[in-house]
Amino acid sequence: MFFSKTVASVAALAIGAQAAMPIASVEFQSWETCDVGAPAIGEPKFTDAVTATPVTCDKATVNRQWDIDNYSFKAHLDTKDALLCSGVTIWNNDDCSGRPVTFLPFEGGPVAQGQCLPDILDPGYVSFKLECFGGIGGPEGGP
């Protein structure tokens, strides 16, 4: 009986450990103007918020209004497990495929504010994936 309870406890711990998922909130920000290469500060014209994980590909629509000249990205680590993550990879499509447009690193903090980018995005979507270490996903950990 003791053995079966111990096995059940270990199995429950393993399931709980696998159920933990790193999660980050990502904002896709559209600007009328901001200094390219500088941190994007102030209030963006439009913001679209998505959730990023290492195993999903979430997307936001590229706002193509005539008064939008720049874009930026901001990310916030939402879960304790996300501390294993190095940043967010960003593509200019809806399926996280091909060559990424940019990478937004966390650089040791829970919030990353990206630099102001020129109007380089094609119409359609930008997609996001959280890049993590330790077997959770991303360039060093799997898919």
Domain chopping of the chain, boundaries: 21-132
Radius of gyration of the chain (CA): 18
Contacts of 14 (CB under 8 A, 6+ apart): none
**Of residues 78, 76, 68, the one with CA closest to residue 116:** 68
Q: How far apart are CA 59 and CA 121, in angstroms?
A: 14
The pLDDT-based confidence of 135 (bands split at 50, 70, 90) is very low
Q: Answer with the residue of higher pLDDT: 2 or 69.
A: 69
Q: Answer with the residue of higher pLDDT: 140 or 113.
A: 113
Q: Answer with the residue of higher pLDDT: 81 or 86.
A: 86
- Tens digit of pLDDT for each residue in 94-131? 999 999 999 999 988 899 999 999 988 999 999 999 99
Q: How far apart are CA 118 and CA 34, in angstroms?
A: 9
- Tens digit of pLDDT for each residue in 14-54? 334 445 789 999 999 999 989 999 988 889 999 999 999 99
The pLDDT-based confidence of 134 (bands split at 50, 70, 90) is low
Q: Supply the pTM of this predicted model.
A: 0.77
Q: How far apart are CA 42 and CA 1, in angstroms?
A: 62
pLDDT at position 114 = 92
Q: How far apart are CA 143 and CA 139, in angstroms?
A: 7
**Of residues 80, 97, 79, 89, the one with CA closest to residue 138:** 89
Q: What values do phi and psi take at 80, rounded to 5? A: -60, -35
Q: Answer with the residue of higher pLDDT: 138 or 95.
A: 95
The pLDDT-based confidence of 138 (bands split at 50, 70, 90) is very low
Average pLDDT over residues 59-84: 90
Q: Please report the sign of the dihedral spanned by the C-alpha atoms of residue 26, residue 118, residue 97, residue 60.
A: positive
